[in-house]
A and B are shown apart, each in its own frame.
Chain A
Amino acid sequence: MKRVFPFMGAISLIAALCLPSCQAVSSNETDDVVYLNVYNSADYINEEADYYEENPLSGNAGLLAEFERYCQEEYGTTVIVNYSTFDTNETMLSELKTGKASYDLVCPSDYVIQKMIREDMIEPFDEGSTPNYDQYVSPFVYEKMSEIEINGEKGLVNDYARGYMWGTLGLLYNNNLTTLSTKKFSITPEEMDEDMTDWASLWDDKYHNLLSIKDSVRDTYAAGILYTYTDDFQLDGKEFEGLATLKEKHDDGTYDDDTYNKKVTEIFNMCDDITLNRVGDNLKKLKENSFGFEVDSGKTDMIVGNKFAINLAWSGDAAYSMDNLDEFIESGTIEGEEVDTTTTNYANLKYVLPETGANIWFDGWVMPKGANKVWASRFVDFFSTPEYTAENMEYIGYTPVIAGDAILDLVQSWYDERYVEEEVDDEGNVIVEGGMDYDALDKDNPEFEEEYYTKDISYFFEGTLEEKEERDCEFYLSLESQGKQFDTQYPDKDILPRLAVMADFGGQNASMLLMWESVKNTVLPTWFYIVVAAGVLVVAGFIVSYYVRKAVVKNRRKARKEARKQA
């Protein structure tokens, strides 16, 4: 019995693992209570009780609590959101695949959405089930999403997913190199500003040990391929125009925006074996030239700026670093001590999308099979309301795909130079009303250009604003804010054609992983391997000879004993 028990247990457990799990549908509606299971990245939704108080029924605070209240009011239904978070898309995916849990809504990245659609893991949204989203989603992001091809078909992503946040992958750099702990670099800020518009600078000896890259295959591969195919190249006997040539032809008008973007996206998504080899070789060189790999520590290291000066970064992280640096500098003045710029040396962070191309990404809500579609759609729609999205954006720091007046108000209040802060006296009376003072600056004034510049982001808000005719999306910004938070969150209009979405690698995933491992692998000099092999042989020889000698001695003893016995 004792022997049988563990064996049986193992079999039953393995069987349980292999069989499709027969879990009960978790989002059941009993007694008018709806349980909605939502699975999202960590720190990716407003859960602060400062905004909306905790709902005692569910324990949720922030916008989640507000959603529950809204459902009660609007539909008379008690909804309880079971909100949980994941670290990486990959862990989430394997959890969904093994059927360990079932969710009504998940928020993965673009390439995972693609994979899920291809593997038939998710349900499409019903048409018209998210009216707010349909009205307020930015036309720019919507179009980017619809361009993704799945099994040769375009537009599927918009049937299966509703966008949530979007951003870019570029270079976050600190052009004040005096904050570094090693003071041996003498690159001027202007020189660096110029160099950073080119991916090749990462491979440049000048920045040896000054840059940090992402410890994740997809992101570092993006930098690698953009560098590898800068010049014209051959692949399978076919000639391709490199990214630099494409840019020239786009600049002189040979290619229009669409053609240019298509060509950049095509190159960006190459992952055949030959390309993998080429990029892999370049990434090995990049590793040699870099300070190191990181995924999480980079954004805080950049604030202090003592370890390295260039970081391959996601736009959200870049904005996070800049915000924290600003707070850091401000807090220095608030606490009575004025910041003396001669003794206190702060990093000067900027974010740039290099000229030959960069990556654009988005995360979106999807409904796994068996989800409660009605309430999942309502959840998505609630979070697509511009007013709530603005509160969400304020908290998370990433850029939502939702446009609309509330978002424009918020962004203007953050960045536009003409925005006037609300002033309140001690009794709570408003002295100066907050809002835009459109006459504060005159852009026709010749002095304007010395301190300010304008930037139009109507591409993002097109068609989502209520006062369509009156409201323009032109921002008046100070020259100092170039490359700062606003540029990070909303790239310039003329950058857009060179932003490409990176598709799922599909069948090349395994080869990609092998390439990545060989990049991360440390190769030792050949003589070292010979020494190690010799050492192992010597040790093995000793051990063998020890046992052989032992056996010989034993045999002799035996023989002697037998001889004695016989005698």
Chain B
Amino acid sequence: MSMKSNDIQEQSFQPKEILLEGIEVVKDEKESKKRVRGIHRPKTNSKALLKSLSLPFALFLILFVLFPILFIVFYAFTDANGFFTFNAFISFFTNTVKLNVLLISVLIGVLNTVLCLLITFPLAYLLANPKINKNYMLVMLFIMPMWINFVLRTGALRDLLTIILSAFGTTTGEHPLFCTMVGMVINYIPFTILPLYSTMLKLDKSQIEAARDLGCNPVKTFTKSIIPQAMPGIVSASMMVFMPTISSYVISDTLSEGKIMLFGNSIYLSFSQSDWNGGSFMSLIMLIIIFIVMFATRKFENAGSERGVSAW
């Protein structure tokens, strides 16, 4: 009993503190802005200065983002001699093999996203609980694999899987999908754990508490309070996993022993056989999918940035 009452006390105190902190921060910001604007800098100069400061970044964007995209578009709608044509467009949408590769990539992308979320969601919830995880070290441990080159990691995983599967009397070549999914999940877990962890840190405990008090069973509390609150994190985590999975190349190639071809492999094949136009068109399709996904999740992203969570 005493434990329980302690819990309640702790949790009921927290929201007030958070609220107070929030207000203070906001006040501070407002004041500092006033100071900067009002006293230290003349208005006209600062604007010009700020604009000139953004120039390097604008240049960077133009050179490394805009130009490559323009090249992709240019190649996607020209033939080998540089004349305008819809050939790549037509040959992509009439080729069932390529469409099938795209479908399989999307399915594997969805599967990978779901698996990563299923594994990391409870993990992030636990890690964000100060009683279980006292410092940041545990989170770092989960992110640490990202510091090792992932081609090396994938190669090592291939040998590890060979050893593990041999215990069951089978090899990696016999289970290409299983091995690919293991590799994918292991490689993308660090990408999901960070955004989820940072939303979990900001979960409004009082709301969860209220839900419980008002008669929600644990399942309902989870679906009606925790998930909606964690939605921005879930969305940004999914974005970090879904798109890279579709275009990933090394993992599927190494772990499925070349038996599963993803969209990235298909694009690579086109370029390596000097079919630049077909390859560019497929890259364009990738870009379009990225834009669609970004457009569809725009709402959550905005909500996320309000809460201080972005796609890090």
Contacts and interface: CB of A to CB of B under 8 A. Distances in A.
A183 to B, nearest CB: 8
A3 to B, nearest CB: 12
Nearest to A93: B274
Nearest to A543: B296
A509 B97 contact: no
A287 interface: yes
| Count class of interface residues, chain A | 35 or more
Given A88-B272, A209-B173, A307-B173, A292 B67 contact: no
B115 interface: no
A292 B62 contact: no
Given A292-B258, A520-B261, A209 B266 contact: no
Given A10-B67, A182-B170, A523 B100 contact: yes
A182 B161 CA distance: 13
Nearest to B257: A292
A343 interface: no
A181 B176 CA distance: 17
B166 A522 contact: no
Contact of A18 (B82, B103, B165): B82
A90 interface: yes
Given A292-B258, A518-B97, A521-B100, A181 B171 contact: yes
B66 A292 contact: no
Contacts of B103: 532
Interface string B97-122: 11011011001000000000000000
A521 B162 contact: no
Given A209-B174, A292-B259, A307-B173, A522 B104 contact: yes
B66 A209 contact: no
B162 A94 contact: no
A509 B176 CA distance: 29
Contacts of A287: 259
B260 interface: yes
Mostly, the B contact residues are: helix
B169 interface: yes
Interface in A68-96: 88, 90-91, 93-94
Contacts of B254: 297
Given A10-B67, A292-B173, A307-B173, A90 B257 contact: no
Interface in B151-173: 162-163, 165-166, 169-173
Contact of B257 (A18, A291, A510): A291
B107 A513 contact: no
Nearest to A214: B258
Given A181-B166, A181-B171, A522 B272 contact: no
A311 interface: no
B227 interface: no
Interface string A507-534: 0011001101110111110000000100
A6 B258 contact: no
Nearest to A10: B70
A521 B173 contact: no
B275 A513 contact: yes
A13 interface: yes
Interface string A10-43: 1001100010000000000000000000000000
Specify which of A9, A93, A291, A514 lies most central, judged by the most chain B CB atoms within 10 Å of its CB: A291
Given A181-B162, A181-B166, A509-B273, A209 B171 contact: yes
B6 interface: no
Given A9-B62, A181-B166, A182-B169, 13 more contacts: A6-B62, A13-B67, A18-B82, A291-B257, A292-B172, A308-B173, A513-B269, A516-B269, A517-B97, A517-B269, A520-B259, A520-B269, A522-B259
19 contacts: A13-B71, A94-B274, A181-B165, A181-B171, A182-B169, A215-B253, A293-B257, A293-B258, A297-B254, A306-B166, A307-B173, A513-B269, A513-B273, A514-B95, A516-B269, A517-B101, A520-B261, A521-B101, A522-B261
